[in-house]
Amino acid sequence: METTKIIGRKEEIRKLESCYASDEAKLVIVYGRRRVGKTYLISQTFKDRFTLRLTGAYNQPKMSQLENFADELRRVWKSDLDTPESWKSAFSLLRAYIESIDSGKRVLIFIDEIPWFDTHKSGFLPAFEYFWNSWGATRDNLMLIACGSATAWMTENFADNPGGLFNRHAMRIYLRPFTLHETEEYLQHAGFDWGRYDIAECYMVMGGIPFYLSQLDPYLTYTANIDALFFNDKTGLWDEFTHLYRTLFRNSENYVKVVEVLASKKSGMTRSEIAEAAKLCNNGDLSRILKNLCDSDFVTTYNFFGKRKKDVIYQLCDNFTLFYYHFIKDYHGRDRQYWTHTIDNPARKAWAGNAFELLCKSHIAEIKKALGISGILSEESIWFSKGDSNSRGAQIDLLIDRRDRVINVCEIKFSINPYIIDKEYELQLRNKLGVFRSCTNTTKALQLTMITTFGVKKNVHSGIVQSQVSLDDLFRE
């Protein structure tokens, strides 16, 4: 099939095509955060092979959703149908339509934004479960793709459903943002002639979200694009943050409180620290919020080296959210060329260091490949010590704890030139390694690894570095 317009997604396409080619009934769920390209992937993969496409409408009542459902059936069935009064009746109509056109060939139903059909007390989910379990699962030529951006809903009702849909899906595809390699490929395909430094900083602003990348103008510089998208009045992506969380999470206010406090703490926070800072009860509701944020790739968890598994640290991992809290939330409207005018601003430099760390942590596989340790099992963690009257504190951005009893102690630095290690910084690094070994009592070999944009400049102090990863390494496939 012709899929030349799709960047990356090779494994996802293979899985979709495999399900389509099967001679069994297939319920496929495709989910991932808003704007990540789910609908585009499915549309471009199957093109004109759809039997019927249905799309939920955000924040619309049950009867409006049912009217839209009926409109699509009328369009393909060429029949003057009455709008059903319930979802059970709606799925009965869908069953009747499929039976009326069934010639034995593959029947492909695509339900997009399926969580939006499930309005309060609508009865949608039980009706869908009954439709699939009582009839759809028995039709060997039926393939139904259920797609949604509300990852929490998709996870609770499909992936982790303990009820009627438990283990009923034949394939689960979670679509992740582009990697740096895929982002570069996308921009080149779109006619951009940017260097990797600009591409990386663009990634630090918006992550590898295809829709955000599609808003860029190849005739503008990187900085001019950021000004146009975020700092011009009511244009581009200036209000994306509000829509993003509101459409993904019910009762999104508490989700926003959590990501806001995490955006202010580079080193991350424990669950109890989050509850206190966000003024939320440390109960089951907070558990659900944190799980949903992690499932949606807005927040990630790291073990604190040497502590119990339950003592996890939560860190914000979404570049767009970090950028919003550093700049858009308070700075919007003050200067239409804010990004151009603040290239040397200390606040921007501080953000860049944090954002580059997020970028690196989302490319662990590429880092391990550059280090030649792809085949070695490892666990990533973080560590810090506040120190006391007898010893200095220390913080380690990333630890790669390897099964071969070596720990890569990673220092992550973003700069516009090769990074220079001077005498003072060399002493800081030696102190960091010493404090880490003393506090953790680890007997494993420690290997200092620098992850930088353009490498480390060789001088009398750089010998402490035992391995390096550069920006070019992060772009490799």
| Per-residue pLDDT reduced to its tens digit, 419-457 | 999 999 999 999 999 999 999 999 999 999 999 999 999
Mean pLDDT (the chain) is 91
Fold of 364-474: Trna Endonuclease; Chain: A, domain 1 (3.40.1350)
pLDDT tens-digit map of 133-177 = 999 999 999 999 999 988 888 888 876 666 656 556 678 899 999
* CATH entry, 10-174, from 3.30.70.1140, 3.30.9.30, 3.40.50.300, 3.40.50.720: 3.40.50.300
Tokens standing for residue 237: 């992506």
Is 242-321 CATH 1.10.10.10?
A: yes
Q: What percent of the chain has pLDDT over 90?
A: 77
pLDDT score of 2: 40
pLDDT for position 1: 36
Question: For position 50, what pLDDT does the model report?
Answer: 97
In terms of phi and psi (left: phi > 0; alpha: psi -120 to 50; beta: otherwise), the region of 270 is: beta
Three-state SS for 214?
A: helix
- DSSP, collapsed to helix, strand or coil, labels residue 191 as coil
- pLDDT tens, position by position, 190-215: 999 999 999 999 999 999 999 999 99
C-beta separation of 110 from 146 below 8 A: no
| pLDDT score recorded for residue 151 | 83
The domains of the chain are located at 10-174, 180-238+332-358, 242-321, 364-474
- Residue 232 has a pLDDT of 82
* H helix or E strand, kind and range, residue 275: helix 271-278
| CA angle (382 as vertex; 385, 252 as ends), nearest 5 | 110
Please write down the long-range contacts of 360-363, taking CB distance under 8 Å and 24 or more positions apart.
360/398, 360/410, 360/412, 360/451, 360/474, 361/300, 361/317, 361/398, 362/177, 362/179, 362/317, 363/179, 363/180, 363/474
Cα dihedral sign, 307-310-314-317: positive
The span from the CA of 415 to the CA of 51, in Å, is 52
Q: Which residues of the chain have pLDDT under 70?
A: 1-4, 159-169, 308-310, 331-333, 387-391
Q: State the pTM of this model.
A: 0.92
